[in-house]
Chain A
Amino acid sequence: MSYILIIGAKSDIAKAVAREYAKHGYDLYLAARNAHELHKFARDISVRSQRIVKILELDIRDFKSHHFFYEQLEEKPLGTISAVGYLGTQYKAQTNFHELQRIVETNFTGIANLLNIVASDLEQRRHGFIVGITSVAGDRGRKKNYIYGSAKAALGAYLSGLRNSLHGAGVHVMTVKPGFVATKMTAGMDLPERLTAQPEDVAKVLFKAQQKKKNEIYVKSVWRWIMMIVKVIPEWKFKKMDI
């Protein structure tokens, strides 16, 4: 069966997504930094689903390696899912260029560079899909995390353009905005239960929506309404708010 390539495969969301696709009969390429840490997880999937799981080393910020990375895949993936994300530390990124660079390169430039390569292959094959996981933080910049948010906003714009560009070739691009998710990245934060999804929920919703070729989804629909309100607050008011 077809392969799905998951980049940023060590995140909790990526793992749930990997299990979901394997459950539906897909084989997997799991790519991440220090990918050897994924061996036990790969075994988990093959015991559960009896699918083929291949582990690949990928540093999303090592731009030069991306061509080779994609070349080495013997069977090219039907779908590529990016779950790469780095929250970083806002206050640090305001003064420290390396932190700023790391946030932007991880959340945007690196992903865009790799997806450029994937997209051109899919365009030629006129077949396949790309899913990018962005964030509600990209819908509007807030003082708490606007550097992360702006990188995610850039990824959002990139995906929307890519969707437009690949449409003619029959290649589908989907944008996913998870909202709060109970993961390692958010461990210790006091998240409101009704707004918080489990990684497994994200995976289920993502899989279904991708199969139906949805364009842009929020995992919990309540987030669509929340962000609609957040987006319409006038700037003169928004700048005074503490949210």
Chain B
Amino acid sequence: MYPKIKNRTFVFNDQDALKSIIAKPHEFIPYGNGRSYGDSALNNNIIYVKPYNYFIDFDENDGLLQVQSGVLLGEILEAFVPRGWFLKTTPGTKFITIGGAIAADIHGKNHHHEGCFSECIKEFKIMLPDGKIVSCSKETIPELFCATCGGHGLTGIILSAGIYLKKIRSKYIEQTTIKTKNLEETFNTFEEYYNAPYSVAWIDCLAKGSQMGKGLLMVGNFKKDNQLDYKEKNKFSIPFHFPSQALNNWSVRAFNWLYYNKIKEKISKQTVDLDTFFYPLDAISHWNRIYGRNGFLQYQLILPKNNSQEGLSKILKIISDSGKGSFLAVLKLCGKSNENYLSFPMEGYSFALDFKIEKGLFSLLDRLDKVVIEHHGRIYLSKDVRTSRQAFEQGYPQIEAFRKFRKRHKLGLKFQSLQSKRLGI
């Protein structure tokens, strides 16, 4: 992972303990399960929230689940999938906390229909710098709600939340895979399958010329076969760091070729379980080790729909010309943006990819930033570790409102991450 820093970790069992921690004359950032790719949850002093993980209540009638903020999404699935409930919104890993899901206002494969995580929140409780605990919903305190959802822990320590789950009747997903030849076809296919509840595409980011933007679009929906026996699977683990040369232009090319060509038909159907569909990488512990000891970073951008074709063509060209980039390149058509100050999604195409940390990477990413800004897009803070203040500010027009909010409530004196200091959030 990148960067690696030393820090002091503070743990709390109850609200009083947390109150006395934040009364100390330091600045803190809450830290959940450490799955943010960048530096949004890092600082010299972190408040480790994951052990604060009690389930509080569940209402079978409306699916309202109340949990403390350290509960992992995976724990919710383990308890509730067998009873026919699933998260309304989930990202590509279940190893994140509820607090983290709120702070990043995460999105998933159904963003085009269901929006971000904040949509499923009834209310949350948050501790402010003075130790006061506030119960907040979008209706009661809209400003605090909009600042906290997507606020990356910079508005206080989220203690608990009430979230709505959705009913499911199977742990299986009926998946359709559509093979596309280039970026234009990929876009058209997204539109064609817009009604599918879940959709995402894998892109061969090293393909050039007329094949640029080719990939596999996967759309899916839950089956209704009443098979809900959901159990933890055995995990495969990467036992050691690969040499950093293992992942190179040629190995990625070979992987991409195999991945793309193992699907023979233009359109094919599969039945997969929900872990395979939503959390493919969770099945491999320490998967980051394939990037070698220097680690990797992830870059995720989104462009407004009108500019997506042009902008993404430029971005793909820069990446394929550089020969960098990895086998994980994920494209997703998102729905409308919400009112939260720093939420990432907007109506358009989001594109995420991993890069091994190596020479020349940062200048490549600066060039990508430029294209993103020129096309009125933005990059995702949960993944960022290096963007410039200027690029960030242009992508997030509501940053001034967020800064004012932080200032007015003296939040900046207590809650800071390496990222918030780097970008002046």
Tell me which residues from 181 to 199 in chain A have a Cβ below 8 Å from any Cβ of chain B. 184, 187
User: In this assembly, does A41 line the interface, its C-beta being within 8 Å of a C-beta of chain B?
Assistant: yes
Partner of B75, one of A40, A41, A48, A184: A48
Residues in A with CB closer than 8 Å to B78 are 23, 48
Assess the B55–A48 pair: CB atoms within 8 A: yes
Contact string against A for B residues 20-61, beta-carbon threshold 8 Å, 1 for contact and 0 otherwise? 000000000000000000000000000000010011111000
Assess the B54–A44 pair: CB atoms within 8 A: yes
CB distance from B88 to the nearest CB of A (A): 18
Residues in B with CB closer than 8 Å to A229 are none
Assess the A47–B57 pair: CB atoms within 8 A: yes
Assess the B54–A49 pair: CB atoms within 8 A: no
Chain B interface extent, by class? 10 to 19
**A40 and B54 in contact, given A184-B13, A187-B11 (Cβ under 8 angstroms):** yes
User: In this assembly, does B79 line the interface, its C-beta being within 8 Å of a C-beta of chain A?
Assistant: yes
User: In this assembly, does A43 line the interface, its C-beta being within 8 Å of a C-beta of chain B?
Assistant: yes
CB distance from A206 to the nearest CB of B (A): 16
Tell me which residues from 216 to 232 in chain B have a Cβ below 8 Å from any Cβ of chain A. none
Residues in A with CB closer than 8 Å to B79 are 47-49
Main secondary structure of the interface of A (DSSP, over half): helix
Assess the A43–B75 pair: CB atoms within 8 A: no
> What's the tally of chain A residues with a CB closer than 8 Å to chain B?
11
Tell me which residues from 95 to 136 in chain A have a Cβ below 8 Å from any Cβ of chain B. none
Q: Which of B54, B56, B58, B79 has the most CB of A within 10 A?
A: B54
The 8 closest A-B pairs by CB, nearest first: A47-B55, A44-B54, A48-B79, A44-B55, A48-B55, A47-B58, A40-B54, A187-B11
Residues of A within 8 A of B (CB): 12, 23, 40-41, 43-44, 47-49, 184, 187
Residues of B within 8 A of A (CB): 11, 13, 51, 54-58, 75, 78-79
25 contacts across the A-B interface (CB closer than 8 A): A12-B51, A23-B78, A40-B54, A40-B56, A41-B54, A43-B54, A43-B55, A43-B56, A43-B57, A44-B54, A44-B55, A44-B56, A47-B55, A47-B56, A47-B57, A47-B58, A47-B79, A48-B55, A48-B75, A48-B78, A48-B79, A49-B79, A184-B11, A184-B13, A187-B11
**Besides A23-B78, A41-B54, 10 other A-B contacts (C-beta < 8 A):** A44-B54, A44-B55, A47-B55, A47-B56, A47-B57, A47-B58, A48-B55, A48-B75, A184-B11, A187-B11
